[in-house]
Structure 1
Amino acid sequence: KRRKTDQTRQRDIISAENIQKELDISRMMVASCSILTGAPFAIIMNNDGHVDEAAANIARTLLVGDEK
């Protein structure tokens, strides 16, 4: 939905199924990199209209990681 309403970019027309495949591949890649490097990762949801919530989640994640 967000891709269709984003007027700031020109995007290729792609099905929801293909978008999900791309997201799944991205998750697999980041998980693999995390395992290979020993670096943790977190998935932060960036829902429409909730940018402050996403930013707070990023800050919380970084601060928790810094305490160790």
Structure 2
Amino acid sequence: MKAYVDSTKCSGYGTCADACPSVFELDEWGYAATRDDGLVPAGEEERARTAASGCPENAIRIED
């Protein structure tokens, strides 16, 4: 599973990093970025999906 952030949509709310810090972090400007090229670690799939569905700007996409 892999996570992608559309940086053109992100407004820097940080809800993704709060929901799934193993996959998402905030960059130096406060916008979402993925860790480890967006690879979702085993056992973190549900948290990654929660982060994506909770993004107020719909800036996150998860692919299986």
Q: Same fold (TM over 0.5)?
A: no
Which structure dedicates a bigger proportion of its chain to helix?
1
| Structure with higher strand content | 2
Report the structure number with the largest CA radius of gyration: 1
TM-score of the two chains, using structure 1 as the length reference: 0.29
Q: Could you tell me the TM-score, scaled by structure 2's length? A: 0.31
The structure, 1 or 2, with the larger RCO (C-alpha pairs under 8 Å, 6+ apart) is: 2
